[in-house]
Chain A
Amino acid sequence: MGSPTSNTDQLIDRLVADASPVRRLVDPRRRAALWAAIALVCVGLGVTFFGARLAVAGPATLIPFLVRLGLLAATMWLSVVTAFRLAVPGEDQRAWTRWWPLLLLGALIAVVAAELVLVWIVGETGSPLRAWTCVRKLTVVGAVPAVAAMVLIRRAAPLDPVWTALLGLVAAGAAGALTSELACPIRMPMHVMLWHVLPIVAYAAIGTAAVWLVVRIRRAGR
């Protein structure tokens, strides 16, 4: 057995022998644009299939609805751009930038929570109706962007796979929730919170936990 340095020299020899030409990865923003195009096609197909329900009762419902749509779209875009940038070493070294998409998601939750408080004050909270249909819409439409995000992330080289997966899944969840918002006639804050917004958090948490577990098992196996 040689010294550690000579082992490194042998490793270098092996890596050099294995150095075939590689295809360079496309810029993360262009990859994010490709993903967004896929996600928007899925949203479009979902809304066409489930039927668009864009009718709103008045400005009191329209404004929060538009704010939610804006926040969902922004969360989706920022999450995927950040995920793809995180998947390239040295691309973004500022630790705080990964929090921006989560802050947007937090803002979305805060907006819906504020609506919930307002309707609770006037006594029209409504009941937390079971609406698995909305979760089904979110799941069906979000699945393809989620798989696409994971494939595109794996194609790069994420140094922090857990964070990268979390952001990719938030982006996919936001795409699914966008469909729920456009294809669901119920605008009650309680319903929106439970069946449109919180499933994004739930899916992202479950998916990230799974990735964390896989990473941990792989590292333990080394």
Chain B
Amino acid sequence: MARAQGGDQPAYDELLRLAARDARGFVARRVGAVDWVEDVVQEALISVHKARHTYDPARPFGPWFYAIVHSRLIDVLRSKKRRGSREVADEAALAAEPAPRPAAGDADVRETLARAVAGLPRIQREIVSLLKYEDLSVRDVARRMGMSEAAVKASAHRGYKLLRRTVGLTDVEHRPAD
């Protein structure tokens, strides 16, 4: 590293390749074989590059380097978590959307929808019915079903998707010919 600080490119190349290998091992030891190991390795290498002037050659390289890798690992984990919660929020938005409701008096469509709901897998059927036909909140449904709120939202999202697909196709079939 001391040579790299002086601008020795071959030494720096060798160092970064060894560092990448060590970083991969460090991440794998902590979080196992995940598909985003290289994200952490690349973030760590960029940080090593930006922070290379802070390394003191009088001190061992390990603590300096692993502090960077550890920090970048935490950052990537946080960003994965944020992205995960954003996906759950999207599902929540979908869960808040009105389920396909037939127009009043349209007995055919009402029957089609009822059949479609009945055809959903049991958990999804119960969740959709509780949310949209009994107007319960996600929290109440979660409590009644003994599930987490996130799981209820995800299940409702899947149920709506299935329902839209089924009802959409059936609607076309049932549209009266002009």
Residue ranges of A at the interface with B (Cβ–Cβ < 8 Å): 4-5, 7-8, 11-13, 15-25, 27, 87-91, 93, 156-157, 159-160, 219-220, 222
Determine the distance from Cα of A22 to Cα of B57 in the docked complex, in whole angstroms. Answer: 13
CB of B72 to closest CB in A, whole Å:
9
Do the beta carbons of B53 and A16 come within 8 Å of each other?
Answer: no
Is the C-beta of B79 less than 8 angstroms from some C-beta in chain A? Answer: yes
B53 to chain A: which residues have CB within 8 Å? 22-25, 157
A12 to chain B: which residues have CB within 8 Å? 13, 16-17, 20, 45
Residue from the list A90, A156, A157, A220 in contact with B66, Cβ < 8 A: A90
CB of B138 to closest CB in A, whole Å:
26
Do the beta carbons of B13 and A16 come within 8 Å of each other?
Answer: yes
Determine the distance from Cα of A21 to Cα of B78 in the docked complex, in whole angstroms. Answer: 33
Do the beta carbons of B71 and A24 come within 8 Å of each other?
Answer: no
Which secondary structure characterizes the binding site on chain A?
loop
Decide yes or no: A11 and B64 within 8 Å by CB, A21-B7, A25-B53 being known contacts: no
A16 to chain B: which residues have CB within 8 Å? 9, 12-13, 16
Do the beta carbons of A5 and B17 come within 8 Å of each other?
Answer: no
Is the C-beta of B56 less than 8 angstroms from some C-beta in chain A? Answer: yes
Residue ranges of B at the interface with A (Cβ–Cβ < 8 Å): 4-7, 9, 12-13, 16-17, 20, 37-39, 41-42, 45-47, 49-57, 59, 62-68, 71, 75, 78-79, 82
Decide yes or no: A24 and B5 within 8 Å by CB, A4-B38, A8-B42 being known contacts: yes
CB of B69 to closest CB in A, whole Å:
10
Residue from the list B9, B46, B52, B63 in contact with A11, Cβ < 8 A: B46
B75 to chain A: which residues have CB within 8 Å? 219
CB of B28 to closest CB in A, whole Å:
13
Do the beta carbons of B79 and A159 come within 8 Å of each other?
Answer: no
Do the beta carbons of A8 and B71 come within 8 Å of each other?
Answer: no
Determine the distance from Cα of A157 to Cα of B68 in the docked complex, in whole angstroms. Answer: 10
Task: Give me the 8 closest cross-chain CB pairs, A-B, nearest first.
Answer: A157-B51, A4-B38, A21-B7, A90-B63, A90-B67, A90-B64, A159-B71, A22-B53
- CB-defined A-B contacts under 8 Å, sample of 18: A8-B20, A8-B41, A15-B16, A15-B45, A16-B13, A19-B12, A25-B53, A88-B56, A89-B51, A89-B55, A89-B67, A90-B63, A90-B64, A93-B67, A157-B47, A157-B51, A159-B68, A159-B71
Determine the distance from Cα of A11 to Cα of B62 in the docked complex, in whole angstroms. Answer: 21
Determine the distance from Cα of A15 to Cα of B55 in the docked complex, in whole angstroms. Answer: 17
Query: Which of A19, A22, A27, A159: most chain B Cβ within 10 A?
Result: A19
A89 to chain B: which residues have CB within 8 Å? 51, 54-55, 64-65, 67-68, 71
